[in-house]
Structure 1
Amino acid sequence: MVLKKEESVGVFTVLVLEDEPVVALDIKLHLEHMGYNVPAVFSSAEAFLSHWQEYDPDLILIDVQLEGAIDGISAARRLKEQSDLPFIFVTAYADEHTIERAKEVEPFAYILKPFDERELKGAIELALYRHRVASELKEREKLFSTTLQSLREGVVITDAEGRVRFVNRAGEALLGRSESEVSGRKFEEVVRLSPYEEEGERREGMFVLGDRLVEYSETDLVWDVPRESFGKVHVFHDFTHWMETERKLRERERQLLQSQKMEAVGRLAGGVAHDFNNLLTVLMGYSKLILQGLPADSPLRSDVQEIQRATLRSSHLIRQLLLFSRHQVAQPEVVDLNELLREMERLLRRVLREDITLTLSCLAASPRVYVDPAQFEQVVVNLAVNARDAMPNGGMLTIQTRNEILREERKGALISVPPGEYVVLDVSDTGSGIPPAILPRIFEPFFTTREDEGTGLGLSTVYAVITGAGGFVDVSSTPGRGTTFSLYLPLTDRQAQEPEEVREEPHPAGGSETILVVEDDDHVRDFIHRSLQRRGYRMLVVGNPGEALLLSEEYKGPIHLVITDLILPYIDGKRLVERLRKARPETKVLFISGYPPSMIGERFSLSPEEPLLQKPFDLDTLLRKVREVLEF
């Protein structure tokens, strides 16, 4: 706020620029009589321009006609270049030319000589008042402009005709143009807003402005009296960064939810696998025992062999369950993806029908990746089977490798792939495609669109294997035209290991040692008992840890080996062995379990002297492992 001079120092200071000494003295006396302070009177413009600032004046009286090179109007013009002080022309000239020149510098008043004291005082007071009001208005405009310029929101002000009159700095950044470039133009010519839609739904109040996403609102500027609009204030809040952050957050939430689903189902799979593996152990074991007891020409042999094949298929299903849930332990090695695919070509052609054309295109240079080759083969077969089923009337399946270097994150249909060097495997078909509505769900375990067949584990397995190898899976699909799965695997600089020499395993031998079996599943326990007893071993068989401890105390002979399930009622197998070895430190141990190794590793720490035989196992595997542990 600008204070009145009398509110601060008491009186106003007035300077006089007049070259006639008598007139100058008369003006000075009149001013002092009216109560003004007149510290100096200048007779030349040169002297005035050099010294006026020393007196901190509030107003200046200037004669138009002055002797010398600079007249009063020119002096006033130079004064305006340095200050906004009010000045009044006092002159005897009223010709049109002089008045027009005077108007150019915008004096606060133009008084003709001679004048009376009342006329002079009125002109001075009015000039001081106008100057004070103008200063206050300028201060308010400065505050208003500074406030608008400091806002993060873009602000555009238009007049009653819709023409741009003001744009703040944030607005200039959003529009990509300066205020001077758009001033006076129609708002619609300058600002082109498009409605923003997300996932097919319109977001209220959100618009696309160029390459920015903004929240837009407008408010009418209305006079108090009369209540008429004289313009609008248009406000733009830049939400581009916020929306991108929100999108990434939703993507992370989706990935977290998917991860939690996989983890939950994985734990379920681990529990289910334990029960299935017990059953499969019994089926695999007894079918082998039955085959060994049947004559070579028995018609029952084919029936038993069919049971074995079904058991083997069931074990593969369990492995897939554990694979997508990441409970199946991977055995990664350096693999040349081109070589692996060429080796698989014959297998893939057997998987496909004759009306499907397979094209294998190995374009990647040095495609060395670190992955479990058996698991990766399962991935490729699963994708080929999916493609086959999507082309019931035939079509084309193209499997291609390529190199790709990502300099920045790439957003795919379902995932974002971080920067890096990748070997990419594209599996493309010309089938029915995947409807957009179900595309986000295709990697969910047990999700399938084939009601009559299919486990819903194929793509879950693909997802688990590739992400487990540090890679990423993306998919693009057009209904009616086909689908492409892109598997991104990081390029590795690891060295490939030399293949080990394959040695033929000898036929499993039996023995005469004493073996204590601790197994809570009756059928598995009976199978182990019968299998080992037939090969000459002396068998001690119990169903729980308590019976095992009691038998160990009562049995006087040596117990050479304890075969025990890791997960038992009351106490686990590892603690049971620790208690047995207090009395029998020489006894060796073989743990068995139907739980996946990863779940076992979370609970137990097994040493090399504590081998583990994973269920399901067949007769030969059991006999070979028992002999291996006893002779270790």
Structure 2
Amino acid sequence: MRKSILIVEDSTIVSMHLKQVLLKANYEVLNILTSGEDAIEFIKDHDPSLVIMDVMIEGKYDGIETSIEINKIKDVPVIYLTALNDKKTIDRAKLTFPTTFLSKPFAESELLSNVELSLYKHEADLQKKESQKLLSTILGNIKSCLIVIDSNFNIKYANEFMTQLLGIEHDEILKLKIGNDLKVLDQNEEPLSITKLNDQLKNELINQDILFLIFNDKKLPINNITLTNAKFYNEETEQFLVVFNDARESYDKLLKEKAEKSLKLAAQIEGAEKERVRVSRELHDGLGQMLNVIKMNIKTLIDNPDAKSKLIELINASIEESHKISENLMPSKLQIFDLKTSLENICEEYNSLSLHVQFSNNLEEGDLDDKKINLFRIVQEALNNIYKHAQAKNVSIQLYRREKGIHLTIEDDGIGFDANQINSKDNLNKSHGLLNMIDRVKSMEGEIDIDSNAKFGTNIIIHIKN
């Protein structure tokens, strides 16, 4: 298809020369106009492929002003013709983004090569704009948050979902920098760099996990993260395309489910503790008293001294055992003393020639009273397991209140066990105590990590947020 060209030139000699050269080169000359006003009106009804414009035409508009008005109507490439080479005129013309300048007089080959290059460049620019428009449409309709960042972690592009998530205008997002204005935190709320995030997405497949964006002191949950190298802009530096979902609704649901589960577990544990109290009281007040009555009656009813002594010995052992069971079910010290004192007492009870128990803490009187039973039971269960199974010589228990929560560690130098087998059916009875510990931690919305092996013993780390 022949390319059409509009000539705007008030010199008849120059315009006719232009027309002759262009026709000879198989271009179509739509018209030759001598004023800017006529050129503007002509453009409204016609679509030339190119305009050759004299800079210094007569009339209301000069060539530069005419080009400005034309480009308000249509995107048409312009070649300027000028007999002037002063810097002021050239600087004015540059503001209209002409494809090139031709100085009068010009050679035919110079004219045709500039026309051909101008048409090619404009066609390439149109294709690029269409591609960018198509890409922007595609990216804008993706139902996820999407950003493109450069190698310096400046945001180069953000779609509408991203602006909605942050609650700011698109232009403001393009001023942000990942790591400075917009931070990414992992599940432990530790900062993640783009490089580290990229490594984790490749190696640990965490893209389904919930991470956090921190912006203007707001913590925004995100998930379903993908990160790939991108080349959307003509830059030599590396770029990244980051796509993720707004996980606020999912995170709120997760927190709600977790809270409900913790409440249910706490209620079950509380019910079990109440039952412990009831059974303990029945043992002490019921069975214990009955055994004492039986012992008193034996002293009066049985005449054989040996038989009487043997029966009394058995009953005394039964009374002592019932007291032990009652004490284990609900230690009297736990009802009387605070957590710090109760833990110091139980550690002292397990301290012996064969087992050295060290307890360190920063608790004050009355601290953690709302978590006293659970924390005491966890330590009690751990010490009982160590005493019965670990063959340990040393135990270290540390309980500290810190800014981010409560930190409890229980370490021993025993023979250890396979922590992976805790939930297996074969070890269900053996690990019942550990499962109780885990449930108690979960009921307080805490986290527990158990590391055990034959060489280093067992290390239990518990963290409970304030």
TM-score (norm 1): 0.37
TM-score (norm 2): 0.50
Question: Quick one: higher RCO (CA 8 Å, sep 6+), 1 or 2?
Answer: 1
Decide which structure has greater helix share. 2
